[in-house]
Every structure is written in structure tokens, then in C-alpha cells.
Structure 1
Amino acid sequence: MIPTCFSAYYTLIPLFNEISEWSLLRKWSLSEVYRVTLRTGESRIIKWGGSEMAGEAEIYQKLVHPLQIKAPRIFEFIQLKDSGVIIMEDAGKRNLEQQPEPEYFLEASRELPRLRVSATANLRMLPRKTIEAYSVSMSGFLQLLDDLLKSNRLEENRVLLKVEKVLPLHLEKLYQMVPTSLVHHDYHAKNLLIQEDGIMPIDWSNAYLSPHLGDLYCLITEAHTFCNLSKEDMISAYLEGTNLHINHLNWQVRIGGLCWLIKTLRWLVYGGIEIIPGSEAWIPDLLNNVDNLCEELIYDSQSSPELV
């Protein structure tokens, strides 16, 4: 039985006639993901996205694959007026959420600088229009913050007002010192597949270009939650493939964390809570994390003025 969300695509995708089994992996109001088994025994991942969730294939085609990032292959993509379907490689059966072993989290931390170096090196392969379309500038993040401070839920929020005073100087320094790279923006355990030769990030639907390291911030947080790995362990794994100093990397992670939190809060407050059931309950904890990172940046400014 073909899931209802694919009914409009039945005559457009011949592969549907070859599917012997559908297995639901995720179901939201605007997104459904299935692993399907073909009569040949092969498997594929099929994703349906509605409204704003329908543009993932374009990100793979225009941004992820040209930057030579480790990501699943796209076999077919069809988009109708208000939705899209992607048929892609089944790149692995288990992710870090299902198998949260310390070594896999450490390898995901090692994978991140490789990913970022490749993206930065291959930016020249992208057309200028693509770079402009997918870049989030310093002023872009400050605008997101301003949007939050004008929203019904977080208008004049005390924590965000403090960030508004602290963040601009640090962001300016970051954008001057660190080259632009690719941000996954959902570098979480559920999107990190375990493979024989390492870790493959999947679900690039939120990817964009920026220098910030919010991906490492997210990974550090989950590594501690899932298997009690320390921030120091994760930072050390990341540093193995770089020439960065630990103090500078910690500073980058704090700014990246704030960028990730601001962008995520902006998405939630302006519609995301309608897409993901229960996500409204995330907001207090996210704001608490914003407050903690902001205080750490204030401390950075006082103890290591060379960073700013």
C-alpha cells in the first residue's frame, strides 16, 4: 500500500511499481520519510516534503554535491506545485541515535573539519548566484535576532536583549577571521549514519553557507547527553585535523552555538512549532542555552581580549 502523501506521484514515478515493502522512518505534518525494499532486494530512501520542506533536492544539487561533501546520492526528484519527492541512496541502516557509542561521536567530530575544508576549497565551483542565495551573512543573523525580539512570543526578551549587545562584535571578528564553509544546521545524532569507512551526514535540507561552527556545538551537546563524552574529548577529536588553538576553537563553538540557537528559535517562533508537534516546549531550554553561551562570550571578552 502506497502512503497517501505519494498518491499524486504514483503515475510519475515508475519505481513505485517495484516496491515490495514500505517502512516509515519519520512522519511530520510537512515531511514523511520511508525506507523501501524493491523486488530485487535493494533498498532506497524516499522522502516527501510539503510546502517549505519540498526544496531539499535543490540543496543537494546546487550546494552539497558541488562542494564534494559526503552525502547520499539522489536517484530521482519530482516536484509538484506544493510538494516534492526525493528518491535517494539508502546509505546506512543505523545512525548515532540508534547506536550512540563514544567512538562514533568522536568520528563525527573528526568528520566535521574534513567536511568544512572540502566546502571552503570548492566554493569556487559554485556560481555567484548560488553563493548569494545560500549565504547567511553577519547582518543576516542580527536580523534573525531582531525578528525574535519583535515576535509575539519573545518580544523584548531579557536574554535576547543581552545577546544583542554582546554578539555583533564577536560575529564581526568571526566573519573576518574564519573562511566561509558549509553549515549543516542539523548535525545531530539522528542525521549521522554509521558506515564502514566513517560517518555520513544526511538530511541537508537546512544547509547554508557561513563561517560559524554551530554544527560542532550541536554535536558536543548530544555526545554528552547520549554517552557522557566531555566537551574536551569532542574538541580534541575535532582539532586532530586542524591547526587551530583550543581557545580559538572554543570561542568559535560559542559563537556558532549562538548562531544555531538564534536561527532555530527564529524558525520555531515563526512557524516551526506548527510543523513539529511538541517543539514549543523546546523554547525555554534553548533560551537557557543562549544565556549560558552569551555569558561565556562575555567572559571571553574579559579574559582573552585578543579574540575580539
Structure 2
Amino acid sequence: MVPGWIPRDVVLDVTAAPELEAVHPELLRQWGSSEVWRLSYGLRSVIAKRGTDAQAGEVAAYQRYVVPLGLPAPELLYGADGVIVMADVGRVTLEQEPTADGFLAAAELAAQIHGKAVDGPSGFPPARVKELAGRIELDLEPLVEALERLHEDAPLGVVHGDFVPKNLVTDGTRWTAVDWPLTYLAPHLSDLYTLIRDAVALGYDRGPIVARYVEVSGTDPFLVDRQLLVGGACFCLLALTFVLAEGVRTIPGSSEWIPPLLAELADLLEQLS
């Protein structure tokens, strides 16, 4: 049965189904803060999502970043009150089929997203690090200093905010990034960091992925190394504060992420010092 919160008229219009009862609903994801469905009729389908807490800001992200910049995201068909309906851009994610070619394509996608010319202000200035560090009572002065320097040396770019295999989708020809509510502007490369992080966990070499990003973006490789370190530390910091403030309520087992995230952050801070 199609959930009642999904806008009936949009689904019927896009799928050309004669009635809602003829539409096939498929639950793709259900966490405490988000619920995602595919609605299909014949060969036509759409994706519907309902988000709360941090996941409720996707329409705003589309309006501020995705649409004006023409970012590689699903077309937004409807958005209101935390509910969005999007075009279906493919049925296979990089999580489902984690190939070397897929990770290289994702590196190109990251370069395309971060390389768009944008106007500030930064969504992750050094003051933001100090604020988040205060919440979890950590001394992150090395990160504050590194981020200050990076704001001087690198342009701002779009940060997707959750650039991981489950959010990278292909239709067999083109790759698209989905799930944009955490998007902001920053000079670091946390998106590339999380992509490499998952690739290495699966046994792939980071070198070709970084090289593909450098090739496509035209960025100095030494600057990319700094952007990766800072981006990794910012990712860990955001992940820790999310888990402590929201994840423990909405994602079962997320409290187990805290010790490895702290260890990962400590290692990155050591490299930044």
C-alpha cells in the first residue's frame, strides 16, 4: 500500500498510472529520520522521501544549490513539509555494486560538484569547528588552524555532506548523487574523503581515485592532500556531533560508531599538527 504522506497527484501524473492502487510501492530505506520509497507503474517510476530532523532540509538544498548550479542530482518534482518526490535516476548504487570503475566515476562526480563556482559565505568556517568541538569537549585547535589556512588557499565549493556509496546511483550510463539535505559550502574535500574511505575499506587503492579527481578538477595535488585531511577531520567531527545529538535516537546501533570515529579524528589531527 502506498503510504498516505506521499502526494497522490504527483505519483499518478509521472507514472501515468490509472489509479494509486495500480502503483507498485517499494520501501528502499527507513530510518528514524527518513523514509524512502520507489513508486512504479510499468516502466515509469518516481522516488518519494519523507525526512525529519537533519533530513528535512532537502528542498532548501535543492533551491539554494542543486537547481541554480545544475548539480548532478535527481530532478525535484515536488517538495513541501519535509516530503519530496524526485525523478528515479537508477536502480543500482555503488554500495550494491562497488566496482573500481564505479569509484573512479564517483571521483569525477565529486570533482564536478565541488568545482562549481559559488559565492559564500562558508558553511564551515573555523568558528563552526570551535562550536562543535565545545559540544563534545575536544581540543581541535590543529583543525581550526588548518581550516583557517585552507579558507585562504582554496576556493569554496559545494560539499554534498553524505557522499557515500549508498547515495551514488547509476542507470548503467550516468552516475548521480542523491540525498542532498546536508549540503553546504566549504573549501575542504570531505566528499572525496568519505568516498576514498569506503573504497579502501573494500580493498581498493586510494591512489587512482585521488588521481582521477586531480585530473578532472585540475587542482594542485598537494592542495588536494590538505583538503582531504581537513575534510576528513570535518567529516568525523560532524559525524560525532550528529550521533550524539540525533543518531542515538534515530539510527539503531549508531552509538557503536563513536569510538572508531574518535580514533579516526585523532589520527587526522595528528597528521594536521
TM norm structure 1: 0.80
Task: State the partner residue of 2:97.
Answer: 99
Gap change, CA 1:2 and 1:196, over 3 Å in 2: closer
Partners of 2:221 and 2:54 lie apart in 1 by 38
Among 121, 134, 155, the alignment partner of 1:146 is: 134
8 A Cα contact 1:34 1:47, kept in partner: yes
| Partner of residue 221, structure 1 | 197
- Distance of 1:62 and 1:243 partners within structure 2: 26
Give the share of equivalent positions with the same residue, in percent: 32
5 Å-filtered alignment, 1:148-167, equals: 148-149=136-137, 160-161=138-139, 164-167=140-143
Structure 1 residues 216, 9: closer, same or farther in 2, change over 3 A? closer
Of residues 150, 154, 174, the one that matches 1:174 is 150
Q: Which residue of 2 aligns with 1:152?
A: none
Using the TM superposition, give the Cα deviation of residue 281 of structure 1 relative to its aligned residue in structure 2, in angstroms: 0.5
TM-score (ref. length: structure 2): 0.90
Asked if the contact 1:141–1:263 (Cα under 8 Å) also holds between the matched residues in 2, the reply is no
User: Which of 136, 155, 161 lines up with 2:124 in the alignment?
Assistant: 136
Runs of at least 5 residues in structure 1 that lack an aligned partner in the other structure: 125-130, 150-159, 299-308
1:22 aligns with 2:25: yes
Aligned with 2:233: secondary structure?
helix
Q: Does 1:203 align with 2:164?
A: no
Query: After alignment, is 46-55 or 217-226 more displaced?
Result: 46-55
Is 1:193 aligned to residue 181 of structure 2?
no
User: Aligned equivalents of 2:27 and 2:85: distance in 1?
Assistant: 14
Letter in 2 for 1:49: G
- Matched with 1:252 is 227
The answer for the alignment partner of 2:213 in structure 1 is: 238
**2:16 matched residue in structure 1:** none
Give the superposition deviation at 1:243.
Answer: 3.5
Matched, 1:46 2:48: yes
Aligned partner of 2:69 among 67, 70, 73: 67
CA RMSD of superposed structures (Å): 1.9
SS state at 1:58 partner:
helix
CA distance in 2, matches of 1:196, 1:216: 22
Partners of 1:9 and 1:235 in 2: CA distance? 40
In 1, the alpha carbon distance for the partners of 2:225 and 2:160 equals: 19
Partner of 1:113: 111
CA distance in 1, matches of 2:61, 2:219: 29
- 1:272 partner SS: helix
1:87 matched to 2:63? The reply is no
Give how far 1:109 is off: 0.9
Structure 1 residues 186 and 14: alpha-carbon distance in aligned structure 2, compared to 1, 3 A threshold:
closer
Q: Which amino acid aligns with 1:145?
A: A
Q: Distance in 2 between matches of 1:283 and 1:51?
A: 20
How far residue 247 of structure 1 moved from its aligned partner, in angstroms, is: 2.8
Give the direction of change, closer, same or farther, for the CA distance of 1:8–1:46 in structure 2 (3 Å limit): closer
Please give the secondary structure, in 2, of the residue aligned with 1:37.
Answer: strand
How far apart are the structure 1 equivalents of 2:85 and 2:6?
Answer: 12
Over 3 Å counting, the alpha-carbon distance change for 1:13 and 1:116 in structure 2 is: same
Contact 2:163 2:194 in 1 (8 A): yes
Which amino acid in structure 2 is aligned with residue 70 of structure 1? P
String of CA shifts for 1:98-130, please: whole Å, max 9, x gaps.
010111101111221122112xx2x25xxxxxx
- Structure 1 residue identity aligned to 2:196: I
Residue 95 of structure 1, CA deviation: 0.6
Higher Cα radius of gyration? 1
What is the Cα deviation at residue 75 of structure 1? 0.9
